[in-house]
Amino acid sequence: MTQHSQQFASDNYAGICPEAWAAMDEANRGSAVAYGEDIWTQRAADRFRSLFDSNCEVFFAFNGTAANSMALASLCQSYQSVICSSSAHVETDECGAPEFFSNGAKLLVAPSDDGKLTPDMVRALATSRSDIHFPQARVVTITQPTETGQVYSIEDIKALSAACHELNLKLHMDGARFAHACATLGCSPADITWKAGVDVLCFGGTKNGMAVGEAILFFDSAMAEGFDYRCKQAGQLASKMRFLAAPWIGMLESGAWLRNAQHANGCALQLAQKVENLPGVELLFPVQSNAVFLKAPDSILDNLRDRGWRFYTFIGGGARFMFAWDTNPDVVDELAEDIRAAALG
């Protein structure tokens, strides 16, 4: 067992999955027209439309920072604002990218322990101010699943979109781990997006086994107007677009997009079930995707680090273990054993 296999700090430490790799390999035969005019890009977009049972507009961006930031920028003006939860990645980990892409739109942050927004939070922020000196809310962004691994149910999303509709807000979904939410809910992608009132989805591929490349889906074509130019100007139009698009074909056609997520989710559940009743160890959040957040004393966490395990820790004793498409369940068992030993030791 190498050091790397003990690495649970992030699901983007994993490499490229076989299905994505094979598709890139296949696309890498001969020449292809550039800038998305190729057959691979067309086919990938069509696969998304099939999967979502929607004639949606599909764009590709290099990473999630850009995908989410451009989507938000397209939904509001610089003098407007975006409602998000306090743990939203756009607020906590994008170094001001949404503000940069939108030329100054403000994020209005709702305190939230589990990262989920509720209609009441949205309503409170959207109606807190109505004067010219404060940016009016125009968009709500939710992360599905949240940064703490919590999943919005179909009903959750419908309730949010109803509030958005009432308040004249657009609903954006940051789906960096969208597949993992689908895997947990056992629903179709359409059920938790356009059928539930989501306007724009950023569907992440990187954390689920791809090298680069996130898809942006506009379920209302009118909102997508000019988005191709926006991507170009913002440095997000790939000349060899086929290498962003083809892996999606591999993922979607083979079912790996869902299988990978199911595997990662399964590893998280496996760990959670084996450690949740240990003395001193507590699950900070229910396990609903591919992350396990443990509350444990420093002695246990130090012990684990000494044994070579790598994970993120937070102030107050929280430890995050992330699982990927390639996580070895045997290593998860080893980790569980070591946690047990540390807890009982």
Q: Restricting to residues 5-34, name those near a copy of itself by CB under 8 A.
A: 5, 7, 9-10, 12-16, 21, 24, 27-34
Closest C-alpha among 189, 188, 207 to residue 149: 207
- In the complex, minimum distance from the CB of residue 53 to a copy of itself, in angstroms, rounded to a whole number: 28
Closest C-alpha among 269, 225, 261 to residue 75: 225
Residue 86 in contact with a copy of itself, rule: CB under 8 A: no
| Residue number with CB closer to a copy of itself (122 or 324) | 324
221-260 footprint of a copy of itself as x/- string (CB under 8 A): -----x-xxx-xxxxxxxxx--xx----------------
| Residue 21: both structure tokens together | 């790799």
Residue 99 in contact with a copy of itself, rule: CB under 8 A: yes
| Residue number with CB closer to a copy of itself (53 or 330) | 330
- In the complex, minimum distance from the CB of residue 107 to a copy of itself, in angstroms, rounded to a whole number: 9
In the numeric block, the tokens 């430490």 are attached to: 13
Is residue 156 within 8 A of residue 173, CB to CB? The reply is: no
Residue 312 in contact with a copy of itself, rule: CB under 8 A: no
Interatomic CA distance for residues 223 and 32, integer angstroms: 29
Residues paired with 201 in a beta bridge: 173, 217
Is residue 252 within 8 A of residue 33, CB to CB? The reply is: no
Beta strands 282-283; 318-322: pairing state: unpaired
Q: Residues 147 to 166: which contact a copy of itself by CB under 8 A? A: none
Residue 51 in contact with a copy of itself, rule: CB under 8 A: no
The amino acid at residue 239 is: S
Contact residue for a copy of itself among 69, 87, 265, 270 (CB under 8 A)? 69
Binding residues for a copy of itself, how many (CB under 8 A)?
74
Give, rounded to a whole angstrom, the gap between the first and last alpha carbons of the chain: 23
| Residue number with CB closer to a copy of itself (34 or 344) | 34
| Residue number with CB closer to a copy of itself (96 or 286) | 96
| Residue number with CB closer to a copy of itself (152 or 311) | 311
Contact residue for a copy of itself among 133, 155, 222, 298 (CB under 8 A)? 133
- Print the SS3 string covering 142-183: EECCCCCCCCCCHHHHHHHHHHHHHHCCEEEEEECCHHHHHH
Contact residue for a copy of itself among 101, 178, 218, 325 (CB under 8 A)? 101
Backbone φ and ψ of 290, nearest 5°:
-105, 25
119-127 and 154-167 helices, crossing angle to 10°: 20
| Residue number with CB closer to a copy of itself (39 or 344) | 39
Residue 127 in contact with a copy of itself, rule: CB under 8 A: no
- In the complex, minimum distance from the CB of residue 21 to a copy of itself, in angstroms, rounded to a whole number: 7
| Residue number with CB closer to a copy of itself (5 or 153) | 5
- In the complex, minimum distance from the CB of residue 229 to a copy of itself, in angstroms, rounded to a whole number: 4
Backbone φ and ψ of 73, nearest 5°:
-60, -35
Interatomic CA distance for residues 118 and 160, integer angstroms: 7
- In the complex, minimum distance from the CB of residue 23 to a copy of itself, in angstroms, rounded to a whole number: 13
Interatomic CA distance for residues 115 and 152, integer angstroms: 10
Contact residue for a copy of itself among 19, 57, 94, 147 (CB under 8 A)? 94
Residue 62 in contact with a copy of itself, rule: CB under 8 A: yes
Is residue 185 within 8 A of residue 258, CB to CB? The reply is: no
Region near a copy of itself per CB under 8 A, out of 44-52, 66-74, 156-164, 180-188: 66-74
